Structure 1
Amino acid sequence: MLNFTEAREYLVGGKTDSWKIPSSESDSLNRWAEKSRFLVGDLLVWKYDGKQDSVLEVSKRDYVTCNTTSPIAVHNDGNTKIVLDHSGAYYFISGAKGHCEQGQKLIVVTLSDKNMRRFTGAPSPSPVDIEGAPAPAPTSNADILKASFVVAFGVFVGFWL
């Protein structure tokens, strides 16, 4: 079984000049974030000109409305590092006037270690006991597929009787 407890560091957008107004919808940082699986403990790193811009962590509502007046946290050092310390969604917008409205924002969804296990080969759940004679235990993936088909077919036929 694979173990994903080691924290990873992500350069936001995958390159140093990514924290800017996107040139197109396909250049959006959210497209980048959708391609990654972030875990609790991972680190996001922004590289940008701290004299011209900032990173604001905001609520979902402020993200949607591009409200910069009540951020959860303000970062303007040009080398912002944020630890993803809980599972769920994080919302970030640019603090530069008008930039959020032009698409300079990011949503990152962090999975807990528990949720990540379902993507990494966690043990399969025990089979459900169905009324009737028990079937012999399958010994391979092909046998499991056959057994599942037989059970599904039996349930389907049972509905028609």
Structure 2
Amino acid sequence: MSASQRYITLSFLFLSLLVSFSEAKDILVGGKTDAWKVPSSQSDSLNKWAESARFRVGDSLVWKYDGQKDSVLEVTSEAYLACNTSGPIKEYKDGMTKLTLDRSGPFYFISGANGHCEKGQKMIVVVMTESRRYTGISPAPAPAEYGEGPAVAPTSSATTLKAGFVTALGVLLWGLF
């Protein structure tokens, strides 16, 4: 394989990896089809599941439920805490709801079925802040004027880790050709 073909192949692989890391996803609420229901225990709550997941702007939440018996209500934080089903921000009753997360911050959801929210059928989803694309080096902190100042915490970045992974993968692929 010539050097130009190798360069084109590696460039394509690199771009494919970058796109796959940043593309939005459809996420099944609770990780299973029948998750939108009254939880059997506190450890089975959808908030436990939502806390362990990472949501990004552009991801879509997908609910699968019986639209004849239940609904999904997007509500304010106050309505969430009070389980107030009147006047939701949005109401979904189709049994196959797909909602695109269009901003960072919290989203509040409760069941529209009578008494279900009070029994724990509700969920808060927190969408991560959109990260900036620029990953340049931040300026060094100014030295303390007098005596020892507090230690500067080391910084870490998922973007830097991802870039290192992609670079290592590229080097390995380069060696194969």
Aligned-partner Cα distance in 1 for 2:113–2:137: 48
Matches of 1:54 and 1:93, distance apart in 2: 8
Q: 1:24 aligns with which of 11, 35, 41?
A: 41
Out of 101, 116, 124, which is 1:84 matched to?
A: 101
Partner of 1:112: 129
State the one-letter code of the partner of 1:27: D
In structure 2, the residue matched to 1:45 is 62
* Partner-residue secondary structure (3-state), 1:30: helix
Find the partner of 1:96 among 101, 113, 138: 113
Given the alignment, which residue of 64, 85, 88 partners 1:68? 85
Residues 46-102 of structure 1 show CA distances to partners (whole Å, capped at 9, x for unaligned) of 000000000000000000000001100010000000000011100000000000000
TM-score, normalised relative to structure 2: 0.68
Question: Matched residue pairs, number?
Answer: 130
Alpha-carbon distance in structure 1 between the residues aligned to 2:46 and 2:79:
17
Q: RMSD across aligned C-alpha pairs, in angstroms?
A: 2.1
For 2:97 and 2:37, locate their aligned partners in 1 and report how far apart those are by CA, in whole Å: 14
Q: Measure how far apart 1:42 and its partner are.
A: 0.3
Distance 1:129 1:75 in 2: 53
Taking structure 1 as reference, are residues 30 and 128 closer, same or farther at Cα in structure 2, changes over 3 Å only?
Answer: same
Partner of 1:155: 148
| Matched residue SS, 1:38 | coil
> For the Cα contact (< 8 Å) 1:90–1:107, is it kept in 2?
yes
Structure-1 separation of matches of 2:39 and 2:137 = 42
Amino acid across the alignment from 2:148: V
Q: Structure 1 stretches (4+) deviating beyond 2 angstroms?
A: 1-5, 122-126
**Long gaps (5+) in structure 2:** 1-16, 150-177
Q: Which has the higher helix share?
A: 2
